[in-house]
Amino acid sequence: MKSYGRLASWLIGFWFVLTLIASALHLFRNDSERIGIAVAIAAAAPIVIFGVWIAASKVFREFALSLNPRILTALQTWRFIGFTFVLLEARGVLPTVFALPAGYGDMFIGITAAFVAWQLAEPRYRNSFIAWQLLGIVDLVVAVSTGTTARLLDPHGASMLAMTVLPLSLVPTFLVPLFLIFHVICIAQARNWRVADEDTQRVMAVQHQAI
């Protein structure tokens, strides 16, 4: 498990550096004023790799499910940076149809992440914990959907060019897939909480009868 922890840390670091270099080289820049195929590939590839890896490797799956859900959830606090979308929309840099739902959605998840991490990440709040994780996923899906269709939904609005160059290009190509993976892991963990809790109660009951 420790070796997987080190490997995962190195892979995330390599992923970030690779994305940063690609952004610096303007490989994600799209002068057609919409999210381009390069951004889509950069965002989807890590999710596909994670999905295949966790499905094919029992050891990796056990490692992922052993991660601390409180820490994974607390890391979503970074989503508060969504306020920058709202500010840029006010300056006419980002389209309203994308910036407001994505910005306010991210701010809500970021503001509530700490509370959810320290108060709801336990078996008795299993359903509430999963519901919040699903809300986080919905927010990401809405952001991606409105971002990719912004020019169609509002042809005369601001362009999405800012999301394809540094520093905002790191959001769809690194942060969005990373946060989505965290959500998926937390939901998978929480689905096992009730089973684990029931097993613990049965063991305690048997021990009590033995006494």
Per-residue model confidence (pLDDT) at position 208: 43
Q: Binning pLDDT at 50, 70 and 90, where does residue 63 land?
A: very high
Rounded average pLDDT over 11-25: 97
What pLDDT score was predicted for residue 114?
A: 97
Q: Which residues of 172-188 are buried (b: 16+ CB within 10 A; e: fewer)?
A: bbbbbbbbbbbbbbbbb
Q: What percent of the chain lies above the pLDDT cut of 70? A: 90
What pLDDT score does 34 carry?
64
Q: What is the predicted pLDDT for the residue at 151?
A: 87
Q: Please give the mean pLDDT across all residues of the chain.
A: 90
Which of 109 and 34 is assigned the larger pLDDT? Answer: 109
- Burial zone of 120 (CB within 10 Å; 0-12 exposed, 13-18 middle, 19+ buried): buried
Name the pLDDT band for 33 (thresholds 50, 70, 90): low
What is the helix (H) or strand (E) element at residue 143, kind and residue range? helix 126-153
- Ranges of each domain in the chain: 2-210
- How far, in Å, are 27, 69, 70, 142, 181 from residue 119 at the CA level? 42, 12, 9, 26, 21
pLDDT tens digit sequence for 89-107? 999 999 999 999 999 999 9
CA distance 206 to 63: 30
Q: Tokens 């999210």 appear where?
A: 35
Mean per-residue pLDDT for 71-80?
Answer: 97
pLDDT at 170: 97
What is the reported pLDDT for 210? 47
pTM: 0.90
160-192 pLDDT, tens digit per residue, is 999 999 999 999 999 999 999 999 999 999 999
Q: Look at residue 202 in the predicted model and tell me its pLDDT.
A: 52
